[in-house]
Amino acid sequence: MIDRQTTAEYPFQRTDAEWRAILTAEQYAVMRGHATERPGSCALLREKRSGRFRCAGCGISLFESHGKFESGTGWPSFTEPVEGAVATTTDRSHGMLRTEVHCANCGSHLGHVFEDGPPPTYLRYCINGVALNFEASS
């Protein structure tokens, strides 16, 4: 885990102007500015179909639907990411020590991971729904 203030190079790059052009204002605030969407505000919270959840910034597959669960927190929650799809950094904001989750491909902020999830991983990847696009299985 690296400190969230560390600037990292990611395989997928966009300029700030390009990010602003493709993301909504809310997506930009969350994904590039580390904001958090209002709990319960995203339709993906209630998504039950089989499929995959992709990064809204670069399109890589981040989470599979079989790992999604109802956490009662107001944000989509997952037990594990697609292997190699996410990275973590230390988040010391708001007077807390948390583990931030971001896209390993483009660096976009996704949410946080906590150790209070269900078995077998006991992890809860608490993800901002606006940072995701859902692709249903055919």
Residues with a catalytic annotation lie at 126
Quickly count: other Cβ atoms within 10 Å of residue 8's Cβ. 11
Contact 60, 85 (CB under 8 A): yes
5: Cα within 13 Å, side-chain hemisphere:
2
Contact 87, 105 (CB under 8 A): no
Torsion angle, alpha carbons of 28, 32, 36, 39, to 10: 50
Q: Which residues 6+ apart lie within 8 Å of 105 measured at CB?
A: 10, 11, 12, 55, 58, 60, 85
